[in-house]
Structure 1
Amino acid sequence: MRDPQTYLRNNREMWRQWTPLKAASAQYDLAGFRAGGCRMRALERAEVGEVRGRSLLHLQCHVGLDTLSWARLGARVTGVDFCAEGVATARSLAADVAPSAVFVEADVLDLPSHLDGAFDIVYTSHGVLGWLPDLRRWAEVVAHFTAPGGFLYVFESHPAAWMLDNKVEHPELKLRYSYFGESEPLAFEYRSPIAVPEAELPGVEYAWGHSLGDVVSALAAAGLRVEFLHEWPFVAWRMLPFMTQDQDGWWRLPDGLPAMPLSFSLRATKPST
Protein backbone atom coordinates (compact mmCIF):
# COMPACT_ATOMS: atom_id res chain seq x y z
CA MET A 1 0.00 0.00 0.00
CA ARG A 2 1.34 3.40 -0.98
CA ASP A 3 1.63 6.21 1.55
CA PRO A 4 -1.72 8.07 1.57
CA GLN A 5 0.22 11.33 1.62
CA THR A 6 1.25 10.63 -1.97
CA TYR A 7 -2.38 10.70 -3.04
CA LEU A 8 -3.21 13.67 -0.84
CA ARG A 9 -0.38 15.70 -2.36
CA ASN A 10 -1.73 14.88 -5.80
CA ASN A 11 -5.24 15.97 -4.80
CA ARG A 12 -3.95 19.20 -3.25
CA GLU A 13 -2.10 20.06 -6.45
CA MET A 14 -5.21 19.32 -8.50
CA TRP A 15 -7.27 21.67 -6.37
CA ARG A 16 -4.52 24.29 -6.50
CA GLN A 17 -4.98 24.40 -10.28
CA TRP A 18 -8.73 24.05 -10.35
CA THR A 19 -9.77 26.47 -7.62
CA PRO A 20 -9.12 29.73 -9.54
CA LEU A 21 -11.07 28.37 -12.50
CA LYS A 22 -13.97 27.31 -10.33
CA ALA A 23 -13.97 30.60 -8.43
CA ALA A 24 -14.28 32.49 -11.73
CA SER A 25 -17.17 30.31 -12.97
CA ALA A 26 -20.82 31.26 -13.26
CA GLN A 27 -21.77 28.25 -11.14
CA TYR A 28 -19.88 29.61 -8.15
CA ASP A 29 -21.14 33.17 -8.84
CA LEU A 30 -18.96 34.86 -6.24
CA ALA A 31 -20.27 38.29 -7.22
CA GLY A 32 -23.83 37.17 -6.55
CA PHE A 33 -22.80 35.68 -3.25
CA ARG A 34 -21.10 38.90 -2.22
CA ALA A 35 -24.34 40.70 -3.02
CA GLY A 36 -26.25 38.65 -0.46
CA GLY A 37 -26.46 35.01 -1.45
CA CYS A 38 -26.94 32.10 0.97
CA ARG A 39 -26.30 28.50 0.01
CA MET A 40 -27.92 26.81 3.00
CA ARG A 41 -31.01 24.91 1.92
CA ALA A 42 -34.08 24.76 4.13
CA LEU A 43 -33.49 21.10 5.02
CA GLU A 44 -29.99 21.72 6.36
CA ARG A 45 -31.11 24.79 8.27
CA ALA A 46 -33.96 22.86 9.87
CA GLU A 47 -31.78 19.92 10.91
CA VAL A 48 -28.98 22.07 12.30
CA GLY A 49 -31.33 24.48 14.05
CA GLU A 50 -30.65 28.03 15.21
CA VAL A 51 -27.02 29.03 14.77
CA ARG A 52 -27.17 32.69 15.77
CA GLY A 53 -24.44 33.43 18.29
CA ARG A 54 -23.05 29.89 18.15
CA SER A 55 -19.52 28.91 17.10
CA LEU A 56 -19.32 26.72 13.99
CA LEU A 57 -16.33 24.90 12.52
CA HIS A 58 -16.64 23.96 8.85
CA LEU A 59 -14.29 21.16 7.80
CA GLN A 60 -13.16 20.95 4.15
CA CYS A 61 -14.74 24.30 3.36
CA HIS A 62 -13.22 24.86 -0.12
CA VAL A 63 -13.75 28.58 -1.01
CA GLY A 64 -15.95 29.25 2.00
CA LEU A 65 -19.36 29.76 0.39
CA ASP A 66 -21.15 27.44 2.81
CA THR A 67 -19.06 28.68 5.74
CA LEU A 68 -20.01 32.28 5.03
CA SER A 69 -23.63 31.29 4.46
CA TRP A 70 -23.69 30.09 8.09
CA ALA A 71 -22.10 33.40 9.05
CA ARG A 72 -24.94 35.23 7.31
CA LEU A 73 -27.32 33.21 9.45
CA GLY A 74 -25.59 34.47 12.57
CA ALA A 75 -22.93 31.85 13.39
CA ARG A 76 -19.37 32.68 14.42
CA VAL A 77 -17.53 30.68 11.80
CA THR A 78 -14.16 29.07 11.21
CA GLY A 79 -13.46 27.27 7.95
CA VAL A 80 -10.68 24.78 7.21
CA ASP A 81 -9.32 23.55 3.89
CA PHE A 82 -6.08 21.98 2.72
CA CYS A 83 -5.84 24.08 -0.46
CA ALA A 84 -4.07 27.44 -0.08
CA GLU A 85 -5.90 28.87 -3.11
CA GLY A 86 -9.28 27.92 -1.64
CA VAL A 87 -8.43 29.51 1.70
CA ALA A 88 -7.22 32.69 -0.01
CA THR A 89 -10.49 32.95 -1.95
CA ALA A 90 -12.48 32.35 1.24
CA ARG A 91 -10.58 35.10 3.07
CA SER A 92 -11.21 37.51 0.20
CA LEU A 93 -14.93 36.74 0.32
CA ALA A 94 -14.99 37.06 4.09
CA ALA A 95 -13.57 40.59 3.89
CA ASP A 96 -16.80 41.63 2.12
CA VAL A 97 -19.28 39.26 3.77
CA ALA A 98 -18.21 38.44 7.34
CA PRO A 99 -14.92 40.06 8.38
CA SER A 100 -14.83 38.16 11.67
CA ALA A 101 -14.77 34.77 9.87
CA VAL A 102 -11.56 32.78 10.30
CA PHE A 103 -10.09 30.50 7.63
CA VAL A 104 -7.29 28.02 8.31
CA GLU A 105 -5.15 26.20 5.76
CA ALA A 106 -4.63 22.68 7.09
CA ASP A 107 -5.20 19.02 6.41
CA VAL A 108 -8.27 18.08 8.45
CA LEU A 109 -6.57 14.99 9.85
CA ASP A 110 -3.78 17.19 11.26
CA LEU A 111 -6.01 20.08 12.34
CA PRO A 112 -5.28 19.92 16.11
CA SER A 113 -1.73 21.04 15.25
CA HIS A 114 -3.07 24.19 13.55
CA LEU A 115 -6.15 25.28 15.51
CA ASP A 116 -7.15 25.65 19.16
CA GLY A 117 -10.54 25.71 20.84
CA ALA A 118 -13.84 23.88 20.73
CA PHE A 119 -17.03 24.65 18.81
CA ASP A 120 -20.76 24.37 19.39
CA ILE A 121 -21.23 22.92 15.90
CA VAL A 122 -18.87 21.04 13.60
CA TYR A 123 -20.20 20.94 10.04
CA THR A 124 -19.17 19.06 6.89
CA SER A 125 -21.03 18.42 3.69
CA HIS A 126 -21.50 17.48 0.05
CA GLY A 127 -18.83 15.20 -1.33
CA VAL A 128 -15.93 15.60 1.09
CA LEU A 129 -15.52 12.38 3.07
CA GLY A 130 -14.16 10.53 0.06
CA TRP A 131 -11.08 12.76 0.12
CA LEU A 132 -10.10 11.32 3.51
CA PRO A 133 -8.07 8.10 3.80
CA ASP A 134 -8.76 7.57 7.53
CA LEU A 135 -12.29 8.02 8.91
CA ARG A 136 -11.27 6.93 12.40
CA ARG A 137 -8.78 9.78 12.59
CA TRP A 138 -11.36 12.16 11.10
CA ALA A 139 -13.86 11.23 13.82
CA GLU A 140 -11.23 11.77 16.51
CA VAL A 141 -10.57 15.25 15.11
CA VAL A 142 -14.30 15.98 15.04
CA ALA A 143 -14.66 14.89 18.67
CA HIS A 144 -11.61 16.94 19.64
CA PHE A 145 -13.16 20.15 18.30
CA THR A 146 -16.76 19.55 19.39
CA ALA A 147 -17.53 21.29 22.66
CA PRO A 148 -19.26 19.21 25.38
CA GLY A 149 -22.96 19.39 24.58
CA GLY A 150 -22.19 20.42 21.01
CA PHE A 151 -22.73 18.37 17.88
CA LEU A 152 -21.46 17.33 14.48
CA TYR A 153 -23.74 17.74 11.46
CA VAL A 154 -22.95 15.92 8.22
CA PHE A 155 -24.82 16.18 4.93
CA GLU A 156 -23.08 13.90 2.49
CA SER A 157 -23.57 11.87 -0.66
CA HIS A 158 -24.66 8.32 0.14
CA PRO A 159 -22.07 5.52 -0.20
CA ALA A 160 -24.61 3.46 -2.16
CA ALA A 161 -24.81 6.20 -4.78
CA TRP A 162 -21.04 6.06 -5.27
CA MET A 163 -21.42 2.47 -6.48
CA LEU A 164 -23.07 3.71 -9.68
CA ASP A 165 -21.30 4.22 -12.99
CA ASN A 166 -21.38 7.99 -13.47
CA LYS A 167 -20.39 7.77 -17.14
CA VAL A 168 -23.71 6.26 -18.26
CA GLU A 169 -25.54 8.95 -20.25
CA HIS A 170 -28.99 7.34 -20.52
CA PRO A 171 -31.30 6.77 -17.52
CA GLU A 172 -29.96 3.49 -16.20
CA LEU A 173 -28.57 2.58 -12.79
CA LYS A 174 -25.47 0.53 -13.49
CA LEU A 175 -23.24 -0.71 -10.68
CA ARG A 176 -19.53 -0.21 -11.20
CA TYR A 177 -17.76 0.28 -7.84
CA SER A 178 -17.64 -1.64 -4.57
CA TYR A 179 -19.70 -0.38 -1.66
CA PHE A 180 -16.88 -1.17 0.74
CA GLY A 181 -13.75 0.93 0.74
CA GLU A 182 -10.34 -0.50 -0.07
CA SER A 183 -6.94 0.43 1.32
CA GLU A 184 -5.96 1.91 -2.04
CA PRO A 185 -8.12 4.78 -3.33
CA LEU A 186 -9.97 4.84 -6.60
CA ALA A 187 -8.42 6.98 -9.34
CA PHE A 188 -10.70 9.15 -11.48
CA GLU A 189 -9.48 10.99 -14.56
CA TYR A 190 -11.25 14.31 -14.86
CA ARG A 191 -11.06 17.64 -16.51
CA SER A 192 -11.94 20.60 -14.34
CA PRO A 193 -15.72 20.18 -14.28
CA ILE A 194 -16.72 23.86 -14.21
CA ALA A 195 -14.01 25.63 -16.19
CA VAL A 196 -14.68 26.80 -19.73
CA PRO A 197 -13.36 24.28 -22.31
CA GLU A 198 -10.45 26.41 -23.46
CA ALA A 199 -9.19 26.61 -19.85
CA GLU A 200 -9.76 23.00 -18.85
CA LEU A 201 -6.98 21.24 -16.99
CA PRO A 202 -6.76 17.44 -17.00
CA GLY A 203 -6.21 15.77 -13.68
CA VAL A 204 -6.48 12.58 -11.68
CA GLU A 205 -8.23 12.64 -8.33
CA TYR A 206 -7.97 9.91 -5.74
CA ALA A 207 -10.90 9.06 -3.49
CA TRP A 208 -11.47 6.56 -0.70
CA GLY A 209 -14.72 4.65 -0.29
CA HIS A 210 -16.40 4.67 3.13
CA SER A 211 -19.56 2.72 3.91
CA LEU A 212 -22.32 4.19 6.06
CA GLY A 213 -21.28 1.73 8.75
CA ASP A 214 -17.73 3.10 8.59
CA VAL A 215 -19.02 6.62 9.26
CA VAL A 216 -21.27 5.68 12.18
CA SER A 217 -18.75 3.30 13.76
CA ALA A 218 -15.93 5.88 13.54
CA LEU A 219 -18.06 8.49 15.31
CA ALA A 220 -19.16 6.01 17.97
CA ALA A 221 -15.55 4.99 18.61
CA ALA A 222 -14.67 8.66 19.08
CA GLY A 223 -17.30 9.00 21.81
CA LEU A 224 -20.03 10.80 19.86
CA ARG A 225 -23.69 9.76 20.10
CA VAL A 226 -25.71 9.64 16.89
CA GLU A 227 -29.03 11.51 17.29
CA PHE A 228 -30.34 10.77 13.81
CA LEU A 229 -29.33 9.33 10.48
CA HIS A 230 -31.61 10.26 7.57
CA GLU A 231 -31.33 8.96 4.02
CA TRP A 232 -32.56 11.05 1.09
CA PRO A 233 -33.46 10.35 -2.58
CA PHE A 234 -31.63 13.47 -3.81
CA VAL A 235 -28.13 14.94 -3.80
CA ALA A 236 -26.61 18.42 -3.90
CA TRP A 237 -25.07 18.19 -7.39
CA ARG A 238 -25.60 16.35 -10.67
CA MET A 239 -23.92 13.12 -9.64
CA LEU A 240 -25.23 11.30 -12.74
CA PRO A 241 -25.63 12.93 -16.16
CA PHE A 242 -29.37 12.19 -16.45
CA MET A 243 -30.42 13.63 -13.08
CA THR A 244 -32.94 16.48 -12.98
CA GLN A 245 -33.01 19.43 -10.57
CA ASP A 246 -36.07 20.18 -8.44
CA GLN A 247 -37.36 23.57 -7.30
CA ASP A 248 -35.31 23.38 -4.10
CA GLY A 249 -32.06 22.87 -5.99
CA TRP A 250 -31.64 19.15 -5.24
CA TRP A 251 -30.73 16.70 -8.00
CA ARG A 252 -32.96 13.62 -8.36
CA LEU A 253 -33.27 10.50 -10.47
CA PRO A 254 -35.81 10.83 -13.29
CA ASP A 255 -39.22 9.18 -13.12
CA GLY A 256 -39.19 5.50 -14.01
CA LEU A 257 -36.07 4.58 -12.04
CA PRO A 258 -36.34 2.92 -8.62
CA ALA A 259 -35.89 5.20 -5.63
CA MET A 260 -32.60 4.78 -3.81
CA PRO A 261 -30.62 6.76 -1.23
CA LEU A 262 -28.44 9.42 -2.87
CA SER A 263 -27.43 11.35 0.23
CA PHE A 264 -27.66 11.16 4.00
CA SER A 265 -27.70 13.58 6.91
CA LEU A 266 -26.38 12.75 10.35
CA ARG A 267 -26.21 14.57 13.65
CA ALA A 268 -24.04 13.31 16.51
CA THR A 269 -23.58 14.96 19.92
CA LYS A 270 -20.70 15.04 22.34
CA PRO A 271 -21.85 14.25 25.89
CA SER A 272 -21.72 17.13 28.35
CA THR A 273 -19.93 15.02 30.96
Structure 2
Amino acid sequence: MTAANAGGPRDPQAYVLGNRELWECWTPLKAASAQYDLDGFRSGGSRMRALECAEVGPVRGRSLLHLQCHVGVDTLSWARLGARVTGVDFSSEGVATARSLAADIDPTAVFVEADVLDLPAHLDGTYDIVYTSHGVLGWLPDLTRWAEVVAHFTAPGGFVYVFESHPAAWMLDNRGQEPRLRLRYSYFGEAEPLSFEYRSPIAVPDQQVPGVEYAWGHSLGDVVSALAAAGMRIEFLHEWPFVAWRLLPFMEQDADGWWRLPEGLPAMPLSFSLRASKPPA
Protein backbone atom coordinates (compact mmCIF):
# COMPACT_ATOMS: atom_id res chain seq x y z
CA MET A 1 0.00 0.00 0.00
CA THR A 2 1.77 3.10 -1.24
CA ALA A 3 1.19 6.61 -2.48
CA ALA A 4 0.21 6.55 -6.13
CA ASN A 5 2.46 9.39 -7.27
CA ALA A 6 5.73 7.52 -7.70
CA GLY A 7 5.75 8.43 -11.38
CA GLY A 8 4.65 12.01 -10.83
CA PRO A 9 1.19 13.62 -10.54
CA ARG A 10 -1.58 12.28 -12.76
CA ASP A 11 -5.01 13.52 -13.70
CA PRO A 12 -7.36 12.29 -10.91
CA GLN A 13 -9.68 11.00 -13.62
CA ALA A 14 -7.03 8.48 -14.64
CA TYR A 15 -7.26 6.92 -11.19
CA VAL A 16 -11.06 6.98 -11.30
CA LEU A 17 -11.00 5.16 -14.64
CA GLY A 18 -8.58 2.62 -13.19
CA ASN A 19 -10.95 1.97 -10.30
CA ARG A 20 -13.88 1.62 -12.68
CA GLU A 21 -12.05 -0.95 -14.83
CA LEU A 22 -11.21 -2.96 -11.72
CA TRP A 23 -14.79 -2.97 -10.49
CA GLU A 24 -16.09 -3.95 -13.91
CA CYS A 25 -14.00 -7.09 -13.45
CA TRP A 26 -14.75 -7.69 -9.77
CA THR A 27 -18.48 -6.99 -9.66
CA PRO A 28 -19.76 -10.09 -11.53
CA LEU A 29 -17.60 -12.32 -9.31
CA LYS A 30 -18.85 -10.65 -6.15
CA ALA A 31 -22.47 -10.70 -7.30
CA ALA A 32 -22.28 -14.46 -7.92
CA SER A 33 -20.71 -15.20 -4.51
CA ALA A 34 -22.34 -16.55 -1.37
CA GLN A 35 -20.97 -13.46 0.38
CA TYR A 36 -23.47 -11.29 -1.52
CA ASP A 37 -26.29 -13.91 -1.54
CA LEU A 38 -28.35 -12.03 -4.11
CA ASP A 39 -30.76 -14.95 -4.51
CA GLY A 40 -31.45 -14.76 -0.79
CA PHE A 41 -32.04 -11.04 -1.09
CA ARG A 42 -34.47 -11.58 -3.95
CA SER A 43 -36.57 -13.78 -1.66
CA GLY A 44 -37.35 -10.85 0.66
CA GLY A 45 -36.25 -8.60 3.47
CA SER A 46 -34.29 -5.39 3.91
CA ARG A 47 -30.58 -5.29 4.66
CA MET A 48 -30.67 -1.82 6.15
CA ARG A 49 -29.37 -1.71 9.71
CA ALA A 50 -31.66 -0.52 12.49
CA LEU A 51 -29.36 2.40 13.37
CA GLU A 52 -29.49 3.83 9.86
CA CYS A 53 -33.26 3.40 9.67
CA ALA A 54 -33.68 5.21 12.99
CA GLU A 55 -31.47 8.14 11.96
CA VAL A 56 -32.98 8.52 8.49
CA GLY A 57 -36.53 8.14 9.79
CA PRO A 58 -39.62 7.00 7.85
CA VAL A 59 -39.07 6.77 4.10
CA ARG A 60 -42.45 5.53 2.90
CA GLY A 61 -43.65 7.62 -0.03
CA ARG A 62 -40.45 9.68 -0.13
CA SER A 63 -37.99 9.92 -3.01
CA LEU A 64 -34.47 8.68 -2.25
CA LEU A 65 -31.30 9.01 -4.32
CA HIS A 66 -28.53 6.54 -3.44
CA LEU A 67 -25.09 7.70 -4.57
CA GLN A 68 -22.43 5.03 -5.29
CA CYS A 69 -24.99 2.25 -4.92
CA HIS A 70 -22.84 -0.67 -6.22
CA VAL A 71 -25.23 -3.58 -7.06
CA GLY A 72 -28.28 -1.88 -5.54
CA VAL A 73 -28.91 -4.06 -2.49
CA ASP A 74 -29.12 -1.12 -0.08
CA THR A 75 -31.06 0.93 -2.64
CA LEU A 76 -33.67 -1.80 -2.99
CA SER A 77 -33.72 -2.32 0.77
CA TRP A 78 -34.92 1.28 1.06
CA ALA A 79 -37.49 0.51 -1.64
CA ARG A 80 -38.79 -2.38 0.44
CA LEU A 81 -39.20 0.09 3.30
CA GLY A 82 -41.41 2.23 1.07
CA ALA A 83 -39.10 4.73 -0.63
CA ARG A 84 -39.19 5.62 -4.33
CA VAL A 85 -35.57 4.95 -5.20
CA THR A 86 -32.92 5.91 -7.72
CA GLY A 87 -29.42 4.44 -7.51
CA VAL A 88 -26.23 5.70 -9.17
CA ASP A 89 -22.94 3.92 -9.75
CA PHE A 90 -19.99 4.34 -12.11
CA SER A 91 -19.77 0.62 -12.91
CA SER A 92 -21.83 -0.69 -15.83
CA GLU A 93 -21.65 -4.18 -14.29
CA GLY A 94 -22.93 -2.85 -10.97
CA VAL A 95 -25.82 -1.02 -12.63
CA ALA A 96 -26.70 -4.07 -14.75
CA THR A 97 -26.84 -6.25 -11.62
CA ALA A 98 -28.94 -3.65 -9.80
CA ARG A 99 -31.40 -3.46 -12.71
CA SER A 100 -31.69 -7.25 -12.75
CA LEU A 101 -32.50 -7.24 -9.02
CA ALA A 102 -34.99 -4.42 -9.49
CA ALA A 103 -36.85 -6.37 -12.17
CA ASP A 104 -37.66 -8.98 -9.52
CA ILE A 105 -38.06 -6.69 -6.50
CA ASP A 106 -39.26 -3.23 -7.57
CA PRO A 107 -39.60 -2.46 -11.29
CA THR A 108 -40.14 1.23 -10.47
CA ALA A 109 -36.57 1.54 -9.15
CA VAL A 110 -34.26 3.51 -11.44
CA PHE A 111 -30.51 2.87 -11.78
CA VAL A 112 -28.18 5.27 -13.55
CA GLU A 113 -24.63 4.61 -14.74
CA ALA A 114 -22.61 7.75 -14.05
CA ASP A 115 -19.69 9.17 -12.13
CA VAL A 116 -21.21 10.90 -9.10
CA LEU A 117 -19.21 14.06 -9.75
CA ASP A 118 -20.75 14.31 -13.24
CA LEU A 119 -24.26 13.25 -12.22
CA PRO A 120 -26.11 16.51 -13.06
CA ALA A 121 -25.34 15.80 -16.73
CA HIS A 122 -27.07 12.41 -16.49
CA LEU A 123 -30.01 12.89 -14.13
CA ASP A 124 -32.76 15.46 -13.59
CA GLY A 125 -34.87 16.34 -10.58
CA THR A 126 -34.42 16.57 -6.82
CA TYR A 127 -35.00 14.10 -3.99
CA ASP A 128 -36.33 14.17 -0.45
CA ILE A 129 -33.37 12.10 0.74
CA VAL A 130 -29.86 11.69 -0.64
CA TYR A 131 -28.12 8.66 0.87
CA THR A 132 -24.53 7.38 0.75
CA SER A 133 -22.73 4.89 2.94
CA HIS A 134 -20.03 2.40 3.87
CA GLY A 135 -16.68 2.92 2.21
CA VAL A 136 -17.53 5.20 -0.71
CA LEU A 137 -16.11 8.68 -0.07
CA GLY A 138 -12.53 7.48 -0.52
CA TRP A 139 -13.27 6.82 -4.18
CA LEU A 140 -13.87 10.54 -4.77
CA PRO A 141 -10.98 12.89 -5.57
CA ASP A 142 -13.01 16.07 -4.97
CA LEU A 143 -15.29 16.43 -1.93
CA THR A 144 -16.13 20.03 -2.79
CA ARG A 145 -17.67 18.90 -6.07
CA TRP A 146 -19.34 15.94 -4.33
CA ALA A 147 -21.04 18.26 -1.84
CA GLU A 148 -22.22 20.52 -4.67
CA VAL A 149 -23.77 17.49 -6.37
CA VAL A 150 -25.43 16.46 -3.10
CA ALA A 151 -26.91 19.94 -2.65
CA HIS A 152 -28.00 20.03 -6.30
CA PHE A 153 -30.10 16.89 -5.92
CA THR A 154 -31.47 17.52 -2.42
CA ALA A 155 -34.94 19.04 -2.58
CA PRO A 156 -35.60 22.15 -0.44
CA GLY A 157 -36.50 20.84 3.00
CA GLY A 158 -34.84 17.49 2.22
CA PHE A 159 -31.61 16.10 3.61
CA VAL A 160 -28.50 14.04 2.93
CA TYR A 161 -27.59 11.13 5.19
CA VAL A 162 -24.02 9.80 5.24
CA PHE A 163 -22.86 6.69 7.10
CA GLU A 164 -19.17 6.17 6.51
CA SER A 165 -16.02 4.68 7.98
CA HIS A 166 -14.22 7.21 10.18
CA PRO A 167 -11.10 8.91 8.79
CA ALA A 168 -9.29 8.11 12.04
CA ALA A 169 -9.85 4.40 11.42
CA TRP A 170 -8.16 4.67 8.03
CA MET A 171 -4.95 5.79 9.76
CA LEU A 172 -4.50 2.29 11.22
CA ASP A 173 -2.16 -0.36 9.84
CA ASN A 174 -4.33 -3.20 8.54
CA ARG A 175 -1.53 -5.66 7.72
CA GLY A 176 -1.07 -7.45 11.06
CA GLN A 177 -3.20 -10.23 12.50
CA GLU A 178 -2.32 -9.48 16.12
CA PRO A 179 -4.73 -7.17 18.01
CA ARG A 180 -2.59 -4.04 18.04
CA LEU A 181 -3.43 -0.50 16.94
CA ARG A 182 -0.57 0.98 14.93
CA LEU A 183 -0.69 4.15 12.88
CA ARG A 184 0.38 3.85 9.24
CA TYR A 185 -1.41 6.50 7.17
CA SER A 186 -1.91 10.26 7.41
CA TYR A 187 -5.22 11.56 8.72
CA PHE A 188 -5.20 14.35 6.14
CA GLY A 189 -5.73 13.52 2.51
CA GLU A 190 -3.50 14.62 -0.34
CA ALA A 191 -4.09 15.35 -4.02
CA GLU A 192 -2.50 12.03 -4.99
CA PRO A 193 -4.37 8.93 -3.79
CA LEU A 194 -2.99 5.91 -2.00
CA SER A 195 -2.80 2.67 -3.98
CA PHE A 196 -3.90 -0.64 -2.47
CA GLU A 197 -2.86 -3.91 -4.06
CA TYR A 198 -4.99 -6.92 -3.17
CA ARG A 199 -7.31 -9.56 -4.55
CA SER A 200 -11.06 -9.23 -4.85
CA PRO A 201 -12.55 -10.34 -1.50
CA ILE A 202 -14.97 -12.98 -2.75
CA ALA A 203 -15.72 -16.43 -1.44
CA VAL A 204 -14.28 -18.42 -4.37
CA PRO A 205 -10.45 -18.41 -4.07
CA ASP A 206 -9.74 -19.67 -7.60
CA GLN A 207 -11.73 -16.76 -9.06
CA GLN A 208 -10.01 -14.02 -7.12
CA VAL A 209 -8.56 -11.36 -9.40
CA PRO A 210 -5.59 -9.21 -8.31
CA GLY A 211 -5.84 -5.49 -8.81
CA VAL A 212 -4.92 -2.03 -7.61
CA GLU A 213 -7.45 0.34 -6.08
CA TYR A 214 -6.85 4.06 -5.61
CA ALA A 215 -8.32 5.93 -2.65
CA TRP A 216 -8.27 9.52 -1.48
CA GLY A 217 -8.18 10.45 2.21
CA HIS A 218 -10.75 12.95 3.50
CA SER A 219 -10.80 14.23 7.07
CA LEU A 220 -14.02 14.62 9.01
CA GLY A 221 -13.55 18.36 8.73
CA ASP A 222 -13.35 18.02 4.94
CA VAL A 223 -16.74 16.30 4.83
CA VAL A 224 -18.52 18.74 7.16
CA SER A 225 -16.96 21.84 5.62
CA ALA A 226 -17.74 20.76 2.04
CA LEU A 227 -21.42 20.21 2.85
CA ALA A 228 -21.64 23.50 4.77
CA ALA A 229 -20.02 25.41 1.90
CA ALA A 230 -22.58 23.89 -0.48
CA GLY A 231 -25.39 25.38 1.63
CA MET A 232 -26.35 22.30 3.65
CA ARG A 233 -27.15 22.69 7.36
CA ILE A 234 -25.58 20.07 9.62
CA GLU A 235 -28.26 18.50 11.84
CA PHE A 236 -26.06 15.97 13.61
CA LEU A 237 -22.68 14.26 13.47
CA HIS A 238 -22.36 11.02 15.43
CA GLU A 239 -19.20 8.94 15.88
CA TRP A 240 -19.39 5.19 16.49
CA PRO A 241 -17.01 2.51 17.84
CA PHE A 242 -17.93 0.05 15.11
CA VAL A 243 -17.89 -0.22 11.32
CA ALA A 244 -19.91 -2.08 8.69
CA TRP A 245 -17.17 -4.49 7.57
CA ARG A 246 -13.98 -6.06 8.92
CA LEU A 247 -11.70 -3.07 8.45
CA LEU A 248 -8.93 -4.73 10.49
CA PRO A 249 -8.21 -8.48 10.46
CA PHE A 250 -8.70 -8.91 14.23
CA MET A 251 -12.09 -7.19 14.49
CA GLU A 252 -15.02 -9.13 15.96
CA GLN A 253 -18.61 -9.06 14.72
CA ASP A 254 -21.39 -8.29 17.21
CA ALA A 255 -24.99 -9.53 17.30
CA ASP A 256 -26.15 -6.59 15.15
CA GLY A 257 -23.64 -7.30 12.40
CA TRP A 258 -21.23 -4.44 13.20
CA TRP A 259 -17.48 -5.04 13.44
CA ARG A 260 -15.75 -3.88 16.63
CA LEU A 261 -12.28 -3.87 18.16
CA PRO A 262 -11.70 -6.78 20.55
CA GLU A 263 -11.90 -6.28 24.29
CA GLY A 264 -8.75 -4.82 25.78
CA LEU A 265 -8.10 -2.27 23.03
CA PRO A 266 -8.97 1.39 23.64
CA ALA A 267 -12.24 2.61 22.21
CA MET A 268 -11.92 4.86 19.17
CA PRO A 269 -14.22 6.11 16.41
CA LEU A 270 -14.49 3.62 13.57
CA SER A 271 -17.43 5.14 11.69
CA PHE A 272 -19.59 8.25 11.67
CA SER A 273 -23.10 9.22 10.66
CA LEU A 274 -24.07 12.68 9.49
CA ARG A 275 -27.32 14.28 8.47
CA ALA A 276 -27.48 17.68 6.77
CA SER A 277 -30.59 19.42 5.46
CA LYS A 278 -31.24 21.88 2.65
CA PRO A 279 -33.16 24.95 3.77
CA PRO A 280 -36.76 25.19 2.51
CA ALA A 281 -37.25 27.38 -0.52
* TM-score, length of structure 2 as denominator length: 0.97
Mind listing any 5+ residue stretches in structure 2 that lack a counterpart?
1-8
Distance 1:234 1:27 in 2: 20
Q: Residue by residue, what CA displacement relative to the aligned partner does 1:31-79 show, whole Å, maximum 9, x if unpaired?
A: 1100003110100000000000000000000000000000000000000
Partner residue, 2:46: 38
Aligned with residue 140 of structure 2, among 126, 132, 137: 132
- Aligned counterparts, 1:55-74, within 5 A: 55-74=63-82
Q: State the identity %.
A: 84
| Residue 121 of structure 2 corresponds to residue 113 of structure 1 | yes
Deviation, structure 1 residue 195: 4.3
Gaps of 5+ in 1: none
Matched residue, 1:182 = 190
Deviations 1:174-211 (A, max 9, x none): 10000000110000001001141111110000000000
2:105 corresponds to 1:94? no
Q: Is the 8 A contact 1:225 1:268 kept in 2?
A: yes
For 2:21 and 2:106, how far apart are their aligned partners in 1?
28
Residue aligned with 2:226, SS: helix
Q: Secondary structure at the match of 2:267?
A: coil
Q: Which runs of 4+ in 1 moved over 4 A?
A: none
CA-based RMSD = 0.5
The residue that corresponds to 1:171 in the other structure is 179
| Structure-to-structure mapping, 1:105-254, within 5 angstroms | 105-254=113-262
Is 1:79 paired with 2:84? Answer: no
1:67-125 deviation line (CA, Å, top 9, x unaligned): 00000000000000000000000000000011100000000000000000000000000
Conserved in 1, the CA contact under 8 Å of 2:95 and 2:111?
Answer: yes
Separation of aligned partners in 1, 2:203 and 2:142: 30
TM-score, length-normalised on structure 1? Answer: 0.99
